[in-house]
Amino acid sequence: MKKVLVLEDESSIRSFIVINLRRAGYEVIEAESGEEALEKLKTHGDTRVALLDVMLPGIDGFEVCRRIRATNSRIGIIMLTARSQEMDKVTGLMTGADDYVTKPFSPAELTARVDALMRRSGGGNDDNSAEISQPPFLLNTRNRTLEKDGQRIKLTQVEYAIVKMFMENPGKALSREEILDLVWGRDYFGELKIVDVNIRRLRLKIEDNATNPMYITTVWGYGYKWGA
């Protein structure tokens, strides 16, 4: 079941998205307000990716994102932003979105983004070596969970994929391009900035002090390194 929710108040844009996602083989749930989207997600709990427009009458896309994330860390979330809303991209990612797409976008770009998140939220393909232990962290690849000092840390699917990539490459400097390829996939259209924003959010969750990170360290002018 590959179910996608599309929240967009402008009906012409919504139809454009819906037609293209259906053509790509997705089952699509439509909502024209944030309230309606939250309501529909309750009855469609198996929705794996949500596309959220930012500018909406009523509660905005960021608030919808926040409310979804309060109870659901597994669903993939993509924000739809206008070109003029450069800062909103960062805000959206910090409220828990996994990705953003800038309007106007091509059908190919949109479906590539949804495909990438869909692969991530699918799970189930990890091998049998179920645990990677690097104190204080314990990653369980069967349950897709991370513990720090025995305490569960709630991660989005993208954050989980980043942590797994780091724990499989301890001490190795990874360039931002490599991280984008490893986590988002080689056919991904996105910008390198998405790597930095996701890592900034991840640091807030896993570091003792996010302003002085000791697990995910910055390799200046290059990328990041896992130092646990």
Q: Is residue 53 near Ca ion by the rule CB under 5 A?
A: yes
113 in the Ramachandran plot: left (φ > 0), alpha (ψ -120 to 50) or beta?
alpha
Q: Is residue 32 near Ca ion by the rule CB under 5 A?
A: no
Q: Is residue 59 near Ca ion by the rule CB under 5 A?
A: no
**Which residue of 16, 33, 55, 228 would you call a contact of Ca ion, by CB under 5 A?**
55
The Cα diameter of the chain in Å comes to 51
Which listed range, 4-12, 34-42, 70-78, 145-153, lies at the site for Ca ion (CB under 5 A)? Answer: 4-12
Minimal distance in Å, beta carbon 83 to Ca ion? Answer: 13
Please say which residue, 9 or 196, places its beta carbon nearer to Ca ion: 9
* Type of residue found at 209: N
CA 104 to chain CA centroid, Å, is 20
Q: Is residue 13 near Ca ion by the rule CB under 5 A?
A: no
Minimal distance in Å, beta carbon 4 to Ca ion? Answer: 18
Question: Token pair of 43, please?
Answer: 């009855």
* Type of residue found at 186: R
Please say which residue, 34 or 76, places its beta carbon nearer to Ca ion: 34
Q: How far is CA 133 from CA 120, 123, 124, 204, in A?
A: 22, 20, 20, 21
Which listed range, 48-56, 132-140, 174-182, 185-193, lies at the site for Ca ion (CB under 5 A)? Answer: 48-56
